[in-house]
Amino acid sequence: MASKHKTAFVGERLDSLEKNDLYRRMRTVVVKGPTAMVDGKETIHLCSNDYLGLSRNRQVIKKAVEALHEVSQCSSRLIAGNHPKIMKLEGLLADHRRTESALVYPTGYSANLGAVTAIAHKNSTIFSDELNHASIIDACRLSGATIQVFRHNDTNHLHELIHQTKGCKIVITEGIFSMDGDTARLQEISTIAKENDAITVVDDAHGDFIFGPGFSGVPAEFKADVDIHISSMSKGLGCFGGYVATAEPVSELLINTSRQFIYTSALPGHLCSAAIAAIPLAKRGNLQKKLYRNIGYFTNAMKKLGFVLGGSSSQIIPVMIGPEKLAVEFSKELLRQGVFVQAIRYPTVRKGSARLRVSLTAMHVQKHLDAAAGAFEKVGRKTGVL
Ligand SMILES: Cc1ncc(COP(=O)(O)O)c(C=O)c1O
């Protein structure tokens, strides 16, 4: 019989999470665009990353289905997985980010791990914004580099730290911060990096296809000099996969040394076809116009009600709550009212800074936003947040 002692820590850890209001449970979600069935209940969906609604676009779906000759090539890129569609997609992504080349990874998470671990090593120092996404934090740790965390978007602090450091230096930040929705001070950050001979890396998962000229992301918006662009295709583009856009030699280094690129199966061809179809649609600008309108409308309504929204400048709008327990209760009550918003807690954000992370899409129309704000008001009064 198996010893109970061997796995006693499992129960202890779960009990501790429960006690601290940090236990996570999955809900079953069937997305229907701006709405979703959540555990069988019809809701307004306010936690989608499909910011432009392209995952449901008929043309995109048609192209993916037409390309569906096999589910996957069941092989890594360097063995037998390098479908011509991936090469075509990489060309389009490089044009989009205005870089010499782009390399597709199976996810944005693996793109972060793959790029950072290939360029950083134990003699490097990485300067990382304190609010960077978990995938960046994991990438930095895995690289074995020395990690210096600078205060969020604080360019004085970055300058202070980088100035005193010798050797290979890398500065890494998000473009739009995933849990706060604010924008990195990229122009200053990239200038400081340049002056200190550091490589600039930007994970633009939430700014890509949403901001900047040609919707090519936050670095282009600020004319920031960025060496390595990392992004996800499962957000603004409404598809799947991740990519790294950079100079040709850096891509070659990744192909040759990035373990998350080499030792994993390639993104299936039909998903590349979907992304190839989605890119020109994302560049037309009509969907962003709707999205920006929704951001302005909802932000105003929530501010008028008295909610504290954090420093968002994007489609990600954190409604600040504070205590973890209250945020979870608020989210559950919103669900009862037919509004689906996730409570974001430690360790994703700092302890005591739990929030409801609203993300808006171009698919929402005024009636969704009015109903959502109405539900927020009702629950805000009931829970004492307002
Ligand atoms: C900033 C950031 N980077 C990377 C990722 C990972 O992207 P993917 O979902 O494609 O793995 C996410 C996903 O939530 C993210 O928010």
Alpha-carbon span 320 to 247, nearest angstrom: 40
DSSP 109-174: HHHHHHHHHHH--TT-EEEEETT--HHHHHHHHHHT-EEEEEPTT-HHHHHHHHHT--SSEEEEEE
Q: Looking at the domain 57-282, which fold is it?
A: Aspartate Aminotransferase; domain 2 (3.40.640)
- Residue with CA closest to ligand 1 atom 16: 178
Q: Contact 327/321 with Cβ under 8 angstroms?
A: yes
Tokens of 229: 């662009």
Q: Give the pLDDT of the chain (386 residues) as one tens digit per residue.
A: 556 788 999 999 999 999 988 888 899 999 999 999 999 999 999 999 999 999 999 999 999 999 999 999 999 999 999 999 999 999 999 999 999 999 999 999 999 999 999 999 999 999 999 999 999 999 999 999 999 999 999 999 999 999 999 999 999 999 999 999 999 999 999 999 999 999 999 999 999 999 999 999 999 999 999 999 999 999 999 999 999 999 999 999 999 999 999 999 999 999 999 999 999 999 999 999 999 999 999 999 999 999 999 889 999 999 999 999 999 999 999 999 999 999 999 988 889 999 999 999 999 999 999 999 999 999 999 999 99
Nearest residue to 230 via CA among 276, 274, 182, 173: 173
Contact 48 CB / ligand 1 (< 6 Å): no
DSSP codes joined into one string, 185-228 = -HHHHHHHHHHTTEEEEEE-TTTTTTSSGGG--HHHHTT---SE
Ligand 1 pocket member 133 (CB < 6 A): yes
Please name every residue paired with 375 in a beta bridge, in sequence order, or none if there are none. Answer: none
Kind and range of the H or E element at 159?
helix 155-163
Spatial separation of the C-alpha atoms in residues 126 and 128, rounded to whole Å: 6
**d(CA 4, ligand 1 centre) in Å:** 37
Helix/strand/coil for 182:
coil
Cis? peptide before 347, omega within 30° of 0: yes
Which residue has a Cα nearest atom 7 of ligand 1? 108
DSSP letter assigned to residue 350: -
What is the secondary structure of 291-349 as a DSSP string?
HHHHHHHHHHHHHHHT---TT--SSEEEEEEESHHHHHHHHHHHHHTTEE-EEE-TTTS
Contact predicate 182/160, CB 8 Å: no
What is the 386 CA–ligand 1 centroid distance (Å)? Answer: 32
Top mutation candidate among 129, 135, 179 for ligand 1, by most atoms within 8 Å of CB: 135
Q: Which is it for strands 35-38 and 41-45: parallel, antiparallel or unpaired?
A: antiparallel
pLDDT attached to residue 1: 52
Q: 205 in ligand 1 pocket by Cβ < 6 Å?
A: yes
Q: What share of the chain is helix, strand, coil (3-state, %, to 5)?
A: 45, 20, 35
The boundaries of every CATH 3.90.1150.10 domain in the chain are: 21-51+285-383
The span from the CA of 308 to the CA of 42, in Å, is: 27
173 lines ligand 1 (CB under 6 A): no
**Spacing, Cα 133 to ligand 1 middle (Å):** 8
109 within ligand 1 shell (Cβ under 6 A): yes
Separation of alpha carbons 171 and 158, rounded Å: 9
Superfamily of domain 21-51+285-383: Aspartate Aminotransferase, domain 1 (3.90.1150.10)
Q: Which of 172, 178, 271 to mutate to test the pocket of ligand 1 (most atoms within 8 A of CB)?
A: 178
> From CA 184, how far away is CA 174, in angstroms rounded?
7
Atom of ligand 1 nearest to the CA of 136: 3
7 φ, ψ (degrees, to nearest 5): -115, 15
Buried b / exposed e along 25-34 (16+ C-beta atoms within 10 A): eeeeeebeeb
Question: Does the CB atom of residue 178 touch ligand 1 within 6 A?
Answer: yes
pTM for the predicted model, two decimal places: 0.95
- Index of the ligand 1 atom closest to the CA of residue 174: 1
CATH 3.40.640.10 in the chain, residue ranges: 57-282
**Cα of 309 to ligand 1 centre, how many Å?**
22
108 lines ligand 1 (CB under 6 A): yes
CB distance 339 to ligand 1 below 6 Å: no
Nearest atom of ligand 1 to the alpha carbon of 241: 10
**CA 80 – ligand 1 centroid, Å:** 27
Mutation choice for ligand 1 from 93, 109, 203, CB with most ligand atoms inside 8 A: 109
What 3-state class would DSSP assign to 376? helix
Closest to 127 measured CA to CA, from 106, 103, 148, 102: 148
